[in-house]
Amino acid sequence: MLNVEEAEAISKRQIDQRVLAEQIRLLFDLGRPGSATMFIGILAVGAIFATIAPAWPIALMLANQAGAQTMFNHLRRGFYADPKRAERADKWARAYALNCIWSGATWAIGAVCWLPLVPFEYQALFTLIAAMLCLSSVIMRLSYPTAMYIYMATIGLPTLACLALFGGPQGLLLVGLAFLTAAALTGWIKQLHRSNSESIRLRFENTGLVERLERAHTAAEQKRRDAEKAHELLRMSERTRRDLLAMISQGIRAPLAGLTDAAAQLAKDNADDEQVRTIQETSHLIGRMLADAADLTAMESRTLKLDTQVFAPKDQIEQVARLLRHTKLRPGLSLEVDWGNEVPREMVGDPARLQQILTNIATYLLTGTEKGGLVLQAASSNAYSCEAVRFSVTSTSFEGSTQSLDIFTDEIPLPLAHSLYSEEVLGLNIAQRLIGLMGGRIGVDSAPGFGATIWFAVPKHPGLRLQQESDMEAEGTHLVDLARLYMLEDRMGSDAFIAHLQRALDELRGHWDVLSDAANQNDRALLTAAARRLADTSNVLGFTYLSEAARQLSLSPPGTEGAKAHIPGLENRLKNAETTLRQIYPRLSA
């Protein structure tokens, strides 16, 4: 298996080969129109020099150029006929460059034969013609500089040598100017060649990108068609499941209603009969499971409709408390209602579904509560992007599975505890999904010895969605206020700033220890004071999210049972913020 670097190197070599092959193709294509022009030029120059010098060099030049042109044509045909010309581009490039020696020798023959015999004016004219040929070679062979330099050297060196030997002082001056001009043009030629190569490379890369995009589009289109087929099959399966559930429910509800009525009649005469109570509880359980299954089916098929009406949150909490005391609460357990600060007198939503959520959560927590009891709470919350009401159910001695409770995600895992009844598991899953439909979020604060709190927050008005805490933590400006820290560092200096942060972190840990001890000692006054100091110190450090959470804890309702359940979550935020700060400033970790 190739790693990324090896794959990129192979891809680069392949593109380099394609670029070289394209450059060689341009060489052959640009040389084709000038083949006849070169013979006409030889005859024209020969006619001028034949008036004062021998004419026989014209024949040599024509023969040499004919041979060179024949070889160019042969190379061109071989290049286009080669199916692997891209892989063998360097071989064809070398053959072309070598043939440039043969082609350039045509004018080298003229320089050696004519320049020693003609006056300076003719020598200068021949030199000008040679310079024009070199410039044309720059244009024609720019894509492959090696061939260009070979052709220019083959023409230019014999011409300049003869000019220096037989041209006198003027010839030496012209040779010097020629070398200066060549030196000046070299950098320009390199830059042009680089630009030419990059343009060819970009063209190939763009072509490859377009091809990959087309393939990706084709694959995405196929996936879309497959998804449509799967969606249609899923819809058919959902319809079948709904029909089956409706058929089973319809068949069970009638005899179940008869069983319930019969149990009620028997209970009038035998109120203390254990078997009668068992029949009543069983019929109630079956009816509840059928209702929950219907709710789940409606939610998964997105056909569940939430009611919208104005209601008082306190009334719903009190109704749930009365219902639980009479139906779910076991002897020896207590159930209290703890009102938070500024509980709104009214909100808009579905009161029946809110009662269902609270009842399902409380029923789940009761399965793991053997002593103590439950505390129902409600309070306004400003910790989200819109007005919200936060409800919570706290078990003071929950002994269920806290490992699963610590990670509430989009879907609650079904096996939350080995001892749970399927009714409670199903009810908790329904509660989580109903909260999602309301635009709210659900969470858990739990730790051994502190009990457990399942809380949820919903918008005060429907149609809104609360910002997730995970989204807030993912934004650095919510977890740590970096702008404030950078400004403080700039004002204090690096060394003083690090010392300041270290002292503040030590102070923060001290406040946390006091808060934890206050929770263990059930000292509400000390807990509130420690939470406020923790919030203030966190704010100085730029831990804005931790500061807000500590301030909410200090403002929580009286009593320590509800506040203690928030401590594990607060400790996690403290650890995350401290870890983030040490990552930003590694000197703190020393």
Inside any domain, residue 529 = yes
The tally of domains found in the chain comes to 3
H/E run at residue 476: helix 476-479
Inside any domain, residue 322 = yes
Inside any domain, residue 254 = no
User: What average pLDDT does range 377-401 have in this prediction?
Assistant: 78
Position 280 confidence tier, pLDDT thresholds 50, 70, 90: low
CB atoms within 10 A of CB 123: 24
What per-residue confidence (pLDDT) applies to 563?
A: 59
Q: What value does the mean pLDDT of the chain take?
A: 76
What per-residue confidence (pLDDT) applies to 78?
A: 86
Higher pLDDT, 418 or 85: 85
User: What average pLDDT does range 175-187 have in this prediction?
Assistant: 81
Indicate if 438 and 541 belong to the same structural domain.
no
Indicate if 318 and 448 belong to the same structural domain.
yes
Query: Which of 201, 228, 249 is where one domain is finished?
Result: 201
Q: Choose the most confident range, by mean pLDDT, from 80-84, 89-93, 315-319.
A: 315-319
Indicate if 440 and 510 belong to the same structural domain.
no
Position 474 confidence tier, pLDDT thresholds 50, 70, 90: very low
Largest CA distance in the chain: 146
What is the rounded CA–CA span in Å between residue 182 and residue 189? 10
Indicate if 184 and 325 belong to the same structural domain.
no
What per-residue confidence (pLDDT) applies to 473?
A: 43
**Taken in order 156, 161, 164, 166, is the CA torsion positive or negative?**
negative
What is the rounded CA–CA span in Å between residue 42 and residue 40? 5
Nearest of 392, 512, 486, 482 to residue 446 by alpha carbon: 392
What is the rounded CA–CA span in Å between residue 75 and residue 68? 11
User: What average pLDDT does range 352-369 have in this prediction?
Assistant: 85
Inside any domain, residue 372 = yes
Inside any domain, residue 451 = yes
Indicate if 455 and 498 belong to the same structural domain.
no
What is the rounded CA–CA span in Å between residue 473 and residue 469? 6
Higher pLDDT, 394 or 449: 394
pLDDT at 479 > cutoff 60: no
- Percentage of the chain exceeding pLDDT 70: 72
Which of 135-144, 193-202, 550-559 shows the lowest mean pLDDT across its residues?
A: 550-559
> Which tokens go with 404?
């699963």
Nearest of 470, 16, 412, 464 to residue 205 by alpha carbon: 16
User: What average pLDDT does range 159-180 have in this prediction?
Assistant: 87
Tens-digit pLDDT profile for residues 503-545: 888 888 888 888 888 877 877 788 888 888 888 877 777 776 6
Indicate if 426 and 326 belong to the same structural domain.
yes
What per-residue confidence (pLDDT) applies to 64?
A: 92
Tens-digit pLDDT profile for residues 287-339: 666 666 666 666 665 667 788 888 888 888 888 888 788 777 788 888 888 87
Position 4 confidence tier, pLDDT thresholds 50, 70, 90: very low
What per-residue confidence (pLDDT) applies to 60?
A: 92
Indicate if 424 and 313 belong to the same structural domain.
yes
User: What average pLDDT does range 441-464 have in this prediction?
Assistant: 77
Indicate if 30 and 109 belong to the same structural domain.
yes
Inside any domain, residue 391 = yes
pLDDT at 365 > cutoff 70: yes
pLDDT at 99 > cutoff 50: yes
Indicate if 341 and 370 belong to the same structural domain.
yes
Inside any domain, residue 206 = no
Query: Which of 462, 492, 525 is where one domain is finished?
Result: 462
Residues in the chain: 590
What per-residue confidence (pLDDT) applies to 301?
A: 59
Inside any domain, residue 545 = yes
Tens-digit pLDDT profile for residues 541-561: 777 667 777 777 776 655 555
Higher pLDDT, 60 or 571: 60
Tens-digit pLDDT profile for residues 214-259: 888 888 888 888 888 887 887 787 777 667 766 776 667 677 777 7
pLDDT at 493 > cutoff 80: no
pLDDT at 412 > cutoff 60: no
Indicate if 60 and 166 belong to the same structural domain.
yes
pTM for this predicted structure = 0.40
Rg of the chain over all Cα atoms, to the nearest angstrom: 45
Indicate if 504 and 432 belong to the same structural domain.
no
SS3 452: strand
Strands 441-447 and 388-395: unpaired
The C-alpha angle with vertex 554 and arms to 474 and 375, in degrees rounded to 5, equals 95
Nearest of 93, 95, 88 to residue 17 by alpha carbon: 88
CB proximity list for 545: less than 8 A, separation 6 or greater:
472, 473, 478, 479, 573, 577
CB atoms within 10 A of CB 209: 10
What is the rounded CA–CA span in Å between residue 564 and residue 524? 10
Do 388 and 440 touch, CB atoms closer than 8 A? yes
Indicate if 333 and 400 belong to the same structural domain.
yes
- Percentage of the chain exceeding pLDDT 90: 2
Q: Determine the structural domain holding residue 574 and report its residue range.
A: 482-584
pLDDT at 472 > cutoff 70: no
- One DSSP character per residue, 42-72 reads HHHHHHHHTTTS-SHHHHHHHHHHHHHHHHH
Query: Which of 149, 166, 201 is where one domain is finished?
Result: 201
What is the rounded CA–CA span in Å between residue 515 and residue 530? 5
CB proximity list for 92: less than 8 A, separation 6 or greater:
24, 75, 78, 79, 82, 85
